[in-house]
Amino acid sequence: MNWDECVSKHSSGHSDDEPGMPHLLTIRMPEAGSEHYFAIQAVDVAGNRSPITFLETPVRSSSDNDGDHMEDGWEAANALDPTTDDSREDGDGDGLANLQEYENGLEPDDPDTDGDGYSDGDETRFGGNPRWGFGVPCERGSRMGS
Q: Which of 46, 61, 76 lies at the terminal end of a domain, its last residue? A: 61
Residues 48 and 70 in one domain: no
pLDDT value for 37: 73
d(Cα 7, Cα 41) in Å, to the nearest integer?
Answer: 9
Residues 54 and 73 in one domain: no
Residues 33 and 69 in one domain: no
Element (H, E) at 77: helix 72-77
d(Cα 131, Cα 29) in Å, to the nearest integer?
Answer: 31
> In order along the chain (146 residues), what is the average pLDDT of each group of 10 residues?
45 54 62 69 84 74 82 91 95 96 92 91 86 60 42
pLDDT value for 77: 92
pLDDT value for 51: 87
pLDDT value for 85: 95
DSSP 118: S
Residues 115 and 50 in one domain: no
Residues 47 and 12 in one domain: yes
Domain assignment present for residue 110? The answer is yes
Element (H, E) at 73: helix 72-77
Q: Which domain holds residue 57?
A: 1-61
pLDDT value for 54: 79
CB 81 within 8 A of CB 64: no
